[in-house]
């Protein structure tokens, strides 16, 4: 991914085709569908549902959320890229779908950058590395020693091609340890397996793991954040553990097919930002430690373009490439 391709988000956001569907000025006049490209229960699904609550009411139409899982988020994301650019089919996208995918996959049948126009930021999250409490590991140095003393004993898992998978590969590349990796279709089955000690090491976002950590069902080793989480003040950051350089923020965003008219994008952005300001959405987000983000489409485009370059360097260091 070269620099000119990375800034395509900004170009698309500023030049979405004004020659879109003729009823753009009357948008919306029927139901809007948002595709979440993962199974229910994972971070992407959780954040998308929380942050878009009441969006249909705001717009005066039904707002339908549909989980179209498979291939690490590629199937649902591709469906939106191929949809009519009229604002009635949207994607729950962001870091995993629109910033990591360009560097990770070489043979996609859609363009995760040029195929989309940013609509609105939803929230930011960050990842945490955890182990099953039955494992005698309480820190990353202990994990490294254990893995080297017990080759093949530790098993990790994640959905392929998303930030948690890259963090596991990043740790492997930096420390030289070898863990068996199990790919999952979504976070929910992976969480079930780490709780049952079928896998011992897992990474996912604060929004889904914090309640399990607080309940003592999972043991946190480090957070992928620039600072310690206020909810887990005794848990070090990756940087403190000598693993600097991994991105600290997961962006969740509402995306539309490229070519969606600017008037439609503006209406969707205004409505979503209004929902993010609402007391009920703010309260729901705060419970999971998420940070709501109110941005214009142009501001979001700039951030996602920077994310493309950032994750490209992570993919190169971790030496991960997928078909």
For the segment 237-244, the average pLDDT, to the nearest whole number, is 95
Q: Over the stretch 201-222, which tens digit does the pLDDT of each residue have?
A: 999 999 999 999 999 999 999 9
Q: Look at residue 8 in the predicted model and tell me its pLDDT.
A: 63
Pair (291, 270) in one structural domain: yes
Q: Quick check: is 230 in a domain?
A: no
| Cα torsion through 269, 274, 276, 278, rounded to 10 | -170
Cβ neighbourhood burial of 239 (10 Å; 0-12, 13-18, 19+): middle
Other Cβ atoms less than 10 A from the Cβ of 50: the count is 21
**pLDDT > 90 fraction of the chain, expressed in percent and rounded:** 84
Q: Over the stretch 165-206, which tens digit does the pLDDT of each residue have?
A: 999 999 999 999 999 999 998 899 999 999 999 999 999 999
For residue 4, pLDDT over 90 is answered with no
Mean per-residue pLDDT of the chain: 92
Contact between 121 and 269 (Cβ < 8 Å): no
Pair (42, 68) in one structural domain: yes
For residue 98, pLDDT over 60 is answered with yes
Q: Quick check: is 309 in a domain?
A: yes
Q: Among candidates 80, 86, 83, 125, which has minimal Cα distance to 98?
A: 80
Number of helical H runs and strand E runs in the chain:
13, 11
Q: Quick check: is 58 in a domain?
A: yes
Pair (87, 69) in one structural domain: yes
Q: Look at residue 13 in the predicted model and tell me its pLDDT.
A: 53
pLDDT band at 12 (very low <50, low <70, confident <90, very high): low
**pLDDT > 70 fraction of the chain, expressed in percent and rounded:** 93
CATH number at residue 176: 3.40.190.10
Pair (209, 146) in one structural domain: yes
Pair (153, 263) in one structural domain: no
Give the contacts of 198 (CB within 8 A, at least 6 positions apart). Answer: 155
Pair (141, 62) in one structural domain: no
Q: Quick check: is 242 in a domain?
A: no
Q: Look at residue 288 in the predicted model and tell me its pLDDT.
A: 86
What is the domain range of residue 199?
A: 127-223
Q: Quick check: is 30 in a domain?
A: yes
For the segment 261-283, the average pLDDT, to the nearest whole number, is 96
For the segment 81-92, the average pLDDT, to the nearest whole number, is 98
Pair (212, 105) in one structural domain: no
Q: Quick check: is 36 in a domain?
A: yes
Pair (120, 268) in one structural domain: yes
For the segment 46-69, the average pLDDT, to the nearest whole number, is 95
CA distances from 82 to 75, 114, 147, 213, 221 (A): 11, 12, 44, 39, 41
Secondary structure of residue 317 in the 3-state scheme: helix
Q: Quick check: is 310 in a domain?
A: yes
Phi, psi of 254 (to 5 degrees): -95, 125
State which H helix or E strand residue 181 sits in.
strand 180-184
For the segment 114-137, the average pLDDT, to the nearest whole number, is 97
Q: Which two tokens stand for residue 315?
A: 């993919």
For residue 3, pLDDT over 80 is answered with no
Pair (153, 212) in one structural domain: yes
Secondary structure of residue 45 in the 3-state scheme: helix
pLDDT band at 21 (very low <50, low <70, confident <90, very high): very low
Please tell me the total count of domains within the chain: 2
Using the 8-state DSSP alphabet, how is residue 57 labeled?
H
For tokens 């929230």, the residue is: 123
Pair (172, 207) in one structural domain: yes
For the segment 13-25, the average pLDDT, to the nearest whole number, is 54
Pair (76, 138) in one structural domain: no
Q: Is the pTM of this model over 0.75?
A: yes
DSSP string covering 102-154:
HHHBSS-SS-TTTTEEEEEEEEEE-EEEEE-TTSS--SHHHHHHHHHHSTT--
Q: Among candidates 203, 209, 195, which has minimal Cα distance to 166?
A: 203
For the segment 28-50, the average pLDDT, to the nearest whole number, is 94
Q: On the CB side of 281, how many CA atoms lie within 13 Å of its CA? A: 24
For residue 16, pLDDT over 50 is answered with no
Q: Among candidates 294, 292, 265, which has minimal Cα distance to 32?
A: 265
Q: Quick check: is 142 in a domain?
A: yes
Beta-sheet pairing, 180-184 with 155-159: parallel
Taking the C-alpha atoms of residue 197 and residue 124, their distance in angstroms, rounded to an integer, is 29
Instruction: Please list the alpha-helical segments (H only) found in 150-293.
Output: 163-175, 187-195, 206-214, 262-277, 279-287
Domain boundary among 206, 223, 240: 223
Q: Look at residue 106 in the predicted model and tell me its pLDDT.
A: 86
CATH number at residue 256: 3.40.190.150
Taking the C-alpha atoms of residue 290 and residue 47, their distance in angstroms, rounded to an integer, is 8
Pair (139, 116) in one structural domain: no
Taking the C-alpha atoms of residue 112 and residue 73, their distance in angstroms, rounded to an integer, is 11
């Amino acid at each position: 991914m070269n620099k000119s391709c990375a800034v395509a988000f900004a170009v698309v956001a500023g030049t979405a085709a004004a020659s879109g569907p003729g009823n753009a000025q009357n948008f919306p006049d029927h139901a809007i569908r948002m595709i979440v490209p993962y199974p229910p229960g994972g971070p992407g699904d959780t954040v998308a549902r929380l942050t878009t609550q009441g969006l249909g009411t705001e717009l005066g139409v039904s707002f339908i959320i549909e989980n179209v899982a498979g291939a690490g988020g590629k199937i649902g994301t591709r469906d939106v890229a191929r949809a009519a650019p009229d604002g009635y089919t949207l994607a729950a996208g962001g870091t995993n779908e629109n910033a990591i995918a360009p560097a990770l996959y070489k043979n996609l049948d859609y363009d995760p950058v040029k195929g989309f126009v940013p609509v609105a930021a939803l929230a930011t999250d960050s990842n945490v590395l955890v182990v099953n409490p039955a494992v005698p590991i309480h820190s990353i140095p202990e994990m490294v020693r254990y893995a080297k003393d017990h080759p093949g004993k530790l098993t990790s898992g994640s959905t392929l091609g998303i930030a948690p998978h890259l963090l596991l590969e990043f740790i492997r590349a930096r420390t030289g340890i070898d863990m068996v990796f199990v790919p999952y279709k979504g976070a929910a089955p992976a969480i079930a397996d780490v709780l049952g000690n079928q896998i011992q090491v897992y990474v996912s976002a604060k929004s889904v793991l914090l309640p399990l950590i607080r309940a003592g069902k999972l043991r946190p080793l480090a957070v992928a954040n620039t600072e310690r989480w206020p909810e887990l003040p005794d848990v070090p950051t990756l940087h403190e553990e000598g693993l600097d350089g991994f991105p600290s923020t997961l962006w969740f965003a509402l995306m539309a097919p490229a070519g969606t008219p600017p008037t439609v994008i503006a209406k969707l952005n205004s409505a979503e930002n209004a929902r993010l300001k609402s007391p009920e959405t703010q309260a729901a987000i705060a419970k999971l430690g998420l940070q709501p983000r109110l941005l214009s489409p142009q501001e979001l485009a700039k951030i996602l373009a920077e994310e493309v370059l950032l994750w490209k360097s992570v993919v190169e260091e971790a030496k991960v490439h997928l078909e």
